[in-house]
Structure 1
Amino acid sequence: MNSHLSANILLIDDHPAVRSGIKRALEVSGLNCCGEAANRAEAFAQIAHKSPDAVILDLNLPDGSGLDVVQWIRKHSQEMAIVILTMSDDESQLIAAMRAGASSFVKKSAPVSEVISALKSSLDLPKNFNAAGLAAALKNSQVAEQLTQREMTVLQALNQPGTNKELAKGLFISEATFKTHLAAIYRKLEVKSRFGAVTKARSLNLF
């Protein structure tokens, strides 16, 4: 888009105070808010009626996930900019937003200037996903996906008290087999101890 100033932007968030704050920031930046929606149903109706150039969207809506809105938009438009604005620190949500077709992912704790910057970038390149911490999230996601189902079971067992022998017995496998899986887990998570594995697993939201 040649001019951000001509863009129509729809705000989708169930908190009036959040919508009001973003709307003021848009106005200060010379950008146009064409409407507001407080839930998923209103979002679908507003998007269909107003065909905005961009949406600023909360992931947690009272009647469903904002990811449903992202996927619905992408079925109808590849050009609409989609900025996710969320309280979530969950890296899996960031990855899910990217895979659903969002343009940007910004935390609500970020400065308003960052939201406006993400919006402008998304208007220019709606299919070029941008998010702080994206590289780390992708790496962590790839690490998690490398674990086999059995390794995931062993990893979850590490979150319980007990020796390797006791945990292995609880999983109905030998201690030697348990240690083999443990070695694979350490290698894939790049850790050297049970404590390190549990800590890393929690950071990856595997528990």
Structure 2
Amino acid sequence: MLTSINELLEKEAQAVKNIPITDAYEKAVELIVEQVHNKNGKLVTSGMGKAGQIAMNIATTFCSTGIPSVFLHPSEAQHGDLGVLQKNDLLLLISNSGKTREIVELTKLAHTLNPELKYIVITSNPESPLAEESDICLLTGHPNEVCLLGMTPTTSTTVMTVIGDILVVETMRRTCFTIEEYSKRHHGGYLGEKSRELSK
């Protein structure tokens, strides 16, 4: 088992190293800063299934680092939750295939509500409907899943999480987000206590 675990770690680590790094990251961070930090919009993340859980995690991480963000479930969006979208908001959509029906439909509904809404998309497929619809597309590098069946989202969700971390950290850098500001947003638990100590 130890050999198998080491092989899994190597495959996941290599997938992260193979993430295509382009100027799309700089453009994505600039768009987040412009729409949310400067224009007082919010980042609205969305994804279906496992990708949705990654989108939710990215939203909560952005919230704690000075970028107001919410997760919009693509199915609930069709039943009224689309109303969360406001002027200057920005959508961050995640789909490994770039063809997820609920997410593709969400882009159409959101554009009907507000044609000026911009999209950042995280996907493995540069020729997918979502990639073509996006203002900025961040590619995962299409890693093979480490799942024995090659099906279960494993490596792909690892890579999506890392891409989200890159966006968060680079946005923090661009907005000069401080430990003092962090402590105001994260009061409870160990991190809250630690951030208050460091901000003194």
Query: TM bucket by the smaller chain?
Result: 0.3 to 0.5
**TM-score when scaled to structure 1?**
0.42
Identify the structure with bigger relative contact order (alpha carbons < 8 Å, sequence gap 6+): 2
Instruction: Say which one has the larger Rg.
Output: 1
**TM-score when scaled to structure 2?**
0.43
